[in-house]
């Protein structure tokens, strides 16, 4: 490959927008500022002082919740995807130099909206805007094979034989707490 030119990045962005304009279309189709009055209800409690980090624009956080619903993402995964994908970053209204809200901030924001009783209304409003444009939101998935650490729990050889045979080891029914901690489908990797 040769040296990259001055306009290469602009051309690359233009190509991306031509090929997969779904998020661009969503960003342009929905009048996002109309959500602000409902979003502000999630912040009805006044701050006690101006100390600490500045409040993140609730519209940015709401757009992250919309992406989360569209692509069936966890809080941790939406944080990663907005950091990783230019299209997600642009959709929520951030750039490379901006800090991306973390998973905890997204979770707290969702809970604030839920407690304020506006989260369902916000998503219904969003769907209504889509319907008025002849669009329908169908949630998809970004396929992700994630390996996560789990607590180490030792089974006896006999218990492992029973589990592999599809049976519950003897005595496990008597202790529902223990059974709740076991994943009978898990295997070593």
Domains of the chain, residue spans: 14-43+56-132, 150-182
pTM reported for the whole predicted model: 0.65
**pLDDT tens sequence across 101-127:** 999 999 999 999 999 999 999 999 998
Q: Where are the alpha helices (DSSP H) in the chain?
A: 8-19, 22-29, 36-41, 58-71, 75-84, 86-92, 103-116, 119-132, 157-164, 176-180
| pLDDT, position 120 | 93
% pLDDT > 90, the chain: 34
């Amino acid at each position: 490959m040769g040296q990259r030119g001055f306009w290469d990045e602009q051309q690359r962005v233009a190509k991306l927008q031509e090929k997969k304009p779904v998020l661009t279309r969503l960003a342009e189709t929905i009048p996002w500022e109309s959500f602000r009055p409902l979003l502000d209800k999630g912040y009805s409690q006044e701050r006690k002082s101006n100390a600490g980090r500045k409040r993140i624009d609730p519209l940015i956080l709401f757009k992250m919740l919309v992406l989360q619903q569209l692509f069936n993402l966890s809080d941790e995964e939406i944080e990663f995807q907005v950091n990783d994908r230019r299209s997600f970053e642009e959709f929520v209204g951030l750039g490379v130099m901006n800090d991306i809200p973390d998973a905890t901030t997204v979770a707290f924001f969702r809970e604030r909206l839920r407690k304020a009783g506006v989260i369902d209304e916000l998503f219904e409003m969003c769907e209504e805007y889509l319907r008025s444009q002849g669009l329908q939101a169908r949630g998809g998935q970004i396929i992700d094979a994630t390996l996560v650490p789990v607590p180490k729990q030792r089974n006896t050889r006999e218990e492992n034989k029973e589990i592999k045979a599809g049976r519950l080891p003897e005595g496990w029914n008597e202790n529902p707490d223990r059974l709740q901690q076991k994943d009978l489908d898990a295997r070593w990797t």
